[in-house]
Amino acid sequence: APQVDAGRYPGDDATVDVQIAAIGHLIHAAEARGVDNALPELLKATMERAAAAGHGGDSYASVIEVLRGDR
C-alpha cells in the first residue's frame, strides 16, 4: 500500500515484466493439464496493459494505475 499511496513503484522486487513471463509459464502448464485459464489470462492482459503504459520495469503494485483508469 505505501507504493500505491505514494504513486511510486520501484522495480526492486519482481517487476511487471517478470510477472508477465512467470504467468506465461503458468498458463502454458495449465493448458497442458486442461485447466481453465480465464483468470490467469485476465491477469496477464492487465499486466500487459500496465507494461504498455510504461510500467514494465516497475513493481507489480503499478498495475493499480491501469485498474484506476483515467481519473
Domain topology for 2-68 = N-(1-d-carboxylethyl)-l-norvaline Dehydrogenase; domain 2 (1.10.1040)
Task: Report the C-alpha gap between 57 and 62 in whole angstroms.
Answer: 10
Note the pLDDT of residue 25: 98
Note the pLDDT of residue 8: 85
Alpha helices, H only, 1-71: 2-6, 16-32, 38-50, 63-68
Give per-residue pLDDT as tens, 42-59.
999 999 999 999 999 999
